[in-house]
Chains A and B, each alone.
Chain A
Amino acid sequence: MSGNLYLPTMARITAIRQESVGARAIKTFQVEFPNGDGFDHDCGQCAMLSVFGKGESMISIASAPMIKEYKQFSIMRTGRVTTAIHDMKVGDLIGVRGPYGNTFPLNEWKGRNLVFIGGGVGLAPIWPVIQTAIANSDDFGKITVFYGSRTSSDLMYRDELEAMRGAADVNLSVDVAEDGWEGYTGFVPSNLMDKPQSPENTIAITCGPPIMIKFVIQNLKEMGFTDEQIYTTIENKMKCGVGKCGRCNVGKDYVCVSGPVYSWAQLKDLPQEY
């Protein structure tokens, strides 16, 4: 069966954590490959998760590449496949094929400061970069993280983010006022504007709802960041994952192959059809 690009490998779910509940519930899944037939990946890449009888969904790999024991996916429940995944339990099998897509050029960023700006479930695609940077903090300058969600109970990776303070400048926010919240109250782009970042020798990496990305990029440019200094990862409807089915085609690119990681310099030249 090797060589068939559409066949998933079966992985076992070894941990599930509820990140948030409600209409836009998010769960984090860790999967392990019992037969040792997993794959290595790099920051920014995604995998197709497969539930037989329901379909497939392309999800960012949220674990850092240095973690070999498991792969992590943080998934919002939003439709047929993701509901089926949310209904799964520890021990269940799930199909995985990948890794797909391009990667964050972390090696090129050695010696630079890194500013991460994430919103909602958009923290997951950039989480591997944050983790890798912190684990190799000698290779990088100052690491700053901006992350916000609708309410404090919607914040993902809360424990890990708190534990990161010290190694990184962590700035959490919630959209609406809340009793007992000591962090920033307001949208993520505003939080960023409130603590302006110097573009000097810095790369900004952002991911979140499209409207958040739009304002974050606007604010970063106001702070003096060039298009080449801003990176994001986009989503588009995907089916094959290998640049053949045409679903994710934007301009001359297939997002599943030439993306999903793009610098703003590259992205603004593509038709805004994503």
Chain B
Amino acid sequence: MATATIAPPVEREDYLNKHYGAGSWLFTTDHKRIALLYLASITFFFFIGGFFALLIRLELLTPASDLVQADTYNKLFTQHGMVMVFFFLIPSIPAVLGNFLVPMMIGAKDLAFPKINLLSWYLYIIGGAMMLHCMLTGGVDTGWTFYTPFSTAFTNTKIVEAGLAIFVAGFSSILTGLNFVVTIHRMRAPGMTWSRLPLFIWAHYATSIIQILGTPVIAITIVLVAVERTLHLGIFDPKLGGDPLLFQHLFWFYSHPAVYIMILPSMGIVSEIIACFSRKRIFGYSFVALSSIAIAVFGFLVWAHHMFVAGISVYAALVFSLLSYSVAVPSAVKVFNWTATLYKGSIRYDAPMLYAFGFLGLFTIGGLTGLFLAALGIDVHVTDTYFVVAHFHYIMVGGALMGYLGGMHFWWPKISGRLYPEGWARLAALIVFIGFNLTFFPQFLLGYLGMPRRYADYSHMPEFQILNVFSTAGSTVLGIGYLLPMIYFLWSMRYGKPAPDNPWNAAGLEWKTQSPPTTYNFEEEPVVTWEAYNYDEIDARRPDEEAPSVG
């Protein structure tokens, strides 16, 4: 990499030191501070969800239901799912990295609606507090999918409260998406045309479309469940003339696109990292950009593939199976383009790139197994087994979470003004990769061999124990891999080397600001005259040559 100047030792004013005190954080409208508020909150919920995962894996070490009883186990996997999905994965990248970077990448001072951005965080906190309260006072045991009529007519756990918590958090998600779409349309700097936008922006734009159009449907579903449960209606209860599948249609109409909310931002990060650490423009930029939109649109067409054995008509199953194959195409387009970007690139193996490589392999496996599940014949055999569990963890953890960690490392110098310790970071990436595969690969085998999901007691299938032991062992390794970045990121905030403005010599407007940036990001509005990922130009400049000034 060309040398970047070391940050001067003088204390410059930036968004972190401009104002001090709790009030300056709790009433901020600076998108960067809001991003950090989110960072703290979602990390908290990640550890809550992880705690439930730990208990699940500990229980599954032995076939008998000896650590916890089935009723408690039901609560464990339910709350693991609800917390991880609604309070970690869905907000994580958009609310942290998206909030921080979207305005900077397009050359704006802030998002279009800064106060709504802050409101969005408060809604997340309120929803999170409601969910915490619910879990601490008895919890829910329906699975994160809270299918009816169990959730409406039979269970005596706190469905309404959990549902309302998710409703509030969903509103937070809608407002974030709304903010991003308006910002990306209206606040791009002069010269920042659509075809010059970083792919991170395209990814967040597509994600926002899903958040806007999908989340309201689960919101109304929650309202209906709450009404039905409270008044003993029969909208979803077959004994009273209702159809449980109606719930599933409405639930999955959101929850399938929701998984694309989780993965698209991560794909955006991977594009940024691969371009920077191959020193090349992303191959097939427009294909990768449009594939994000395609994933968002096609993602709305496939929801009933979660219902193949639930009782939908066989014709509907055929149609949804076919449509599910179509949604894999844009994802594959991305994987091929990233690989083509690597080809003849000048590869560096810094920690962000290690996470990107991990993403490539693990997302591919997760995605392919999704296609297996989309095939009706296979799905009948492996649905509701650990095969499905392994599939979605490969995508959400091996994909989305790896991308998130890669992004946190990549932009950490910008966010904090400090460098994280590279040696520890590479080690952590390796530990995460190994731990992840040790945890979840055995689950493919378990599922294929027939171990059902959501079972605390598998003592009628004791032959599954050995694979479960591997999986639990892996989860311990994975946990260590997650703890390490927590520790060294915090450590770096005080003891890390001050970061230069552009330590990676990366393309992108965000790197043309101070590290950490000032409150309004740019002193003067940037005027963009170059294409995205102009690494050939960047690397061709002699080290002492000034980059085009953006103020």
The answer to whether A and B belong to the same complex is no
